Structure 1
Amino acid sequence: MDYPPSPNSSWVWRRICRVKHEIAPGYTDGIWHQQEGFSSARCYDWLKGQAPKMMWERVVCTGWSFPKHNFLGWLWAHEVLQTKSKLLHYGVVDEDTCQLCGMGSENQEHLFFDFPYNRQVIQQVKQYSGMDIPATNALEWCVHRQGSRLQKEVQYAMVVCVVYVLWQQHNNRRQEMVLVRLEWIAKRILNEMKARVRERDKNHLRIFDMEWLESKNLM
């Protein structure tokens, strides 16, 4: 633990040697404090400390979403999308009233679930797919989904797809101030999900999962 790396050592070696100082408190008389013994995984868990499991983990990391959807979903779950409410917090704008409807603060909850037009889009998607997509608390809704693993992951992917397309349409409206027909947006959401389902290898799927995908108009 007292070894000092040479100033001429490589950056990588100096960084490795610095790590030993960070984990030194985990040793007592040269013995790792955990009964299970030392491993890089246990050491990492010890360094980061205990943290609650995030609700968004399963929702934005499913293979039934396009990567671009997952990335946008990750930003949404962390509440870091550049809404006017967020820009006001950063001091970029002077007020955060929604410029599309003039009602309420333009935060994520308003854009995706309170903005009347987007609520209608979600209702249309529910009619096309038969999925009970929530009008609020979407992450919590995802966590409590029922069904097989595939069915839950596809429902997660549908919510993230809704968020992705609505955010894209929101940015377009801010630039052009034109509302696209909600039926067109709803069909685009469904078509994006269909495209992703078509890409996946379905030879290993169980019959009832295939039937479920067909019942949701995704085949």
Structure 2
Amino acid sequence: MDYSPSPNSSWVWRRICKVKHEIAPGYTDGIWHQQEGFSSAKCYDWLKGQAPKMKWERVVWTGWSFPKHNFLGWLWAHEALQTKSKLLNYGVVDEDTCQLCGMGSENQEHLFFDCPYSRRVIHKKLSDAKGMDIPTTNALEWCVNRQGSKVKKEVQYAMVVCVVYVLWQQRNTCRQEMVLVRPEWLAKRILNDMKARIRERDKSHLSIFYMEWLESKNLM
């Protein structure tokens, strides 16, 4: 505990050594007293403390989504996507007009669910998927409070997260390359992504009822 790295040490080594000051309160006379025995996992749990389980974790980490969709959904749930309204607050951009429609402030709620372009994508997606529900406001709260069987809920979660992922990619393409595709094409891509994921997923545990339900929604 008395060791101090030299100023010439690498940043990584100095950061590793700094950890000892953060875990020092967990020791008394050189003995780790917060939990029985010591391990890096137990130390990490002790440092981060007890956090409530997030209600939306089942929404963004569903196995019916591609991992890349899951990750972006996690950023969306944390409101961590760098929308123009957020960049404006950082002083990075001069205005926050929505990149997709040119109307309204580009925050997450507008970009994914209030934007006229996004709504056209969702409307087209609803018809392609034969009645699959996709909310156009408070989507995360809607998903958390969704009722129904586990399979149907998780497929629905995957659909919402896929919509977020594809719209975010289109927003970035439009921002970087000034290319905005037709909403019908984007809706088709969402449907194809969902089909690709569902087809590669192990469905041996599903009953005939759910297999027929997926087919009825044009997801097989």
Asked if TM exceeds 0.5, the reply is yes
Is residue 84 from structure 1 mapped to residue 106 from structure 2 by the alignment?
no
Q: Is the 8 A contact 1:55 1:139 kept in 2?
A: no
Distance 1:199 1:23, change over 3 A: same
Is residue 206 from structure 1 mapped to residue 207 from structure 2 by the alignment?
yes
Q: Is the 8 A contact 1:96 1:105 kept in 2?
A: yes
Deviation of the 1:115 alpha carbon: 0.6
Scaled by the length of structure 2, what TM-score is found?
Answer: 0.79
Residues 46-85 of structure 1: CA deviation (Å, up to 9, x unaligned): 3212323223322222221112212222222222323211
Q: In 2, Cα distance between the equivalents of 1:18 and 1:171?
A: 38
Q: In 2, Cα distance between the equivalents of 1:177 and 1:128?
A: 24
Is residue 153 from structure 1 mapped to residue 158 from structure 2 by the alignment?
no
Distance 1:173 1:43, change over 3 A: closer
Q: Is the 8 A contact 1:85 1:105 kept in 2?
A: yes
Q: In 2, Cα distance between the equivalents of 1:47 and 1:104?
A: 42
Q: Is the 8 A contact 1:73 1:163 kept in 2?
A: yes
Q: In 2, Cα distance between the equivalents of 1:97 and 1:16?
A: 43
Name whichever of 15-24 and 61-70 sits farther off: 15-24
Scaled by the length of structure 1, what TM-score is found?
Answer: 0.79
Q: In 2, Cα distance between the equivalents of 1:154 and 1:109?
A: 21
Question: Any residues of structure 2 matched to 1:44-123 within 5 Å, and which?
Answer: 44-123=44-123
Question: Any residues of structure 2 matched to 1:9-28 within 5 Å, and which?
Answer: 22-26=22-26
Unaligned 5+ runs, structure 1:
none
Code of the residue aligned with 1:144 in structure 2: it is N
Deviation of the 1:177 alpha carbon: 4.9
Name whichever of 136-145 and 171-180 sits farther off: 171-180
Instruction: Determine what percentage of the aligned residue pairs are the same residue.
Output: 79
Deviation of the 1:195 alpha carbon: 0.7
Q: Is the 8 A contact 1:84 1:95 kept in 2?
A: yes
Q: Is the 8 A contact 2:5 2:17 kept in 1?
A: no
